[in-house]
Amino acid sequence: MENSVCEICDHDLGFRCGMQNSCYGNVESISDCDDFDYMDDSDDDDGEEPIDVTEPIECPNCGEDAYWDGSCYVCENDNCNWCGTL
Ligand SMILES: [Zn+2]
């Protein structure tokens, strides 16, 4: 099934579809299967590491630690209050 997206689907059991879809091995596009899910490829290090938002950065304004608050970095220095992204 070289051209099938089933081989990159999370429901691929290697010989049949984990969702019991009869189209196993014949799905050429991810839009052709309602149950398609990209398999968890956490073993695959291709350089697309998500940013570790728990790590503080150095505030470019005052040099104190700035922590990610979900939308931007916020400096922990109350006298600075820098907020932004790098
Ligand atoms: Zn600061």
pLDDT digits (tens, 9 = 90+) for 2-53: 689 999 999 999 999 999 999 999 999 999 999 999 887 665 556 665 655 5
Could you tell me the distance, in angstroms and rounded to a whole number, from the CA of residue 86 to the centre of ligand 1? 13
64: pLDDT confidence band, cut at 50, 70 and 90?
Answer: very high
Closest CA to 11 of 39, 31, 30: 39
pLDDT at 58: 95
DSSP state of 82: -
Could you tell me the distance, in angstroms and rounded to a whole number, from the CA of residue 55 to the centre of ligand 1? 15
pLDDT at 47: 61
pLDDT at 76: 95
Contacts of 66 by beta carbon, 8 Å cutoff, 6+ apart: 56, 57, 58, 59, 73, 74, 75, 76, 82
Q: Is the pLDDT of residue 83 over 70?
A: yes
Contacts of 3 by beta carbon, 8 Å cutoff, 6+ apart: 28
In this structure, are residues 80 and 58 in contact, taking their beta carbons and an 8 Å threshold?
A: no
Could you tell me the distance, in angstroms and rounded to a whole number, from the CA of residue 58 to the centre of ligand 1? 8
Could you tell me the distance, in angstroms and rounded to a whole number, from the CA of residue 74 to the centre of ligand 1? 8
